[in-house]
A and B are shown apart, each in its own frame.
Chain A
Amino acid sequence: KNEVEQSPQNLTAQEGEFITINCSYSVGISALHWLQQHPGGGIVSLFMLSSGKKKHGRLIATINIQEKHSSLHITASHPRDSAVYICAVSMNLGLGGSQGNLIFGKGTKLSVKP
């Protein structure tokens, strides 16, 4: 069974720091998602990527398919970035993935102090 491992589980940073959250997975995937879950519970899709790098504002997501690893970076962190960040992967159907199913990591809880 594929697992998605995120590290760290919890992260506390000072405002302005550069933050990295890591995601590793064990089998072939067709896409990887980064999601943000706000303290109020709502979930927002940040990135979806299958290769390379994507950037949106202060957020950067990278993926290395060969190493089965993705990172989410936040530059110049701010208290409003405090949230749980979730990595999810869609397995290749030919490798046992089922249609409709993403495998989710347990999330990384980020707290940015002013």
Chain B
Amino acid sequence: NAGVTQTPKFRVLKTGQSMTLLCAQDMNHEYMYWYRQDPGMGLRLIHYSVGEGTTAKGEVPDGYNVSRLKKQNFLLGLESAAPSQTSVYFCASSRHLTGGNSPLHFGNGTRLTVT
């Protein structure tokens, strides 16, 4: 039982390049989330999904797109990377929507640097 798996672990992009971060969970969770973590700030929600085929904007969605074509996968895309997107990205999943009676399960993070 792997839990939540994120790939890649590290990536360096040049400004304007694109990439996709993949998140996979094997717990049959309905809810999945993408967060970013920046120094001196708490985790911030980028986008989330309440089930296969659904996505919704979080607190800081600009510059990112997401897709949830399969229940177990949640993809985060950067179409044209900017230095402001240098961050550590975490994927998470939960059985119920955050605030309900279920904890969050996190991936190990992706450290992205945009030069």
Contacts and interface: CB of A to CB of B under 8 A. Distances in A.
Interface of A: 4, 29-31, 33, 35, 40-45, 48, 86, 88, 90-91, 93, 97, 99-107
A86 B43 contact: yes
Given A30-B100, A31-B100, A43-B109, 13 more contacts: A31-B99, A35-B106, A40-B108, A48-B101, A86-B42, A91-B99, A99-B97, A100-B97, A101-B59, A102-B43, A102-B99, A103-B42, A107-B42
A103 B45 CA distance: 9
Nearest to B40: A106
A100 B109 contact: no
Contacts of B88: 41
B41 interface: yes
B29 interface: no
Contacts of B97: 99-100
A48 B106 contact: no
B50 interface: yes
Contacts of B98: 31, 90, 100-102
B56 A100 contact: yes
A5 B70 CA distance: 37
Nearest to B110: A41
B21 to A, nearest CB: 15
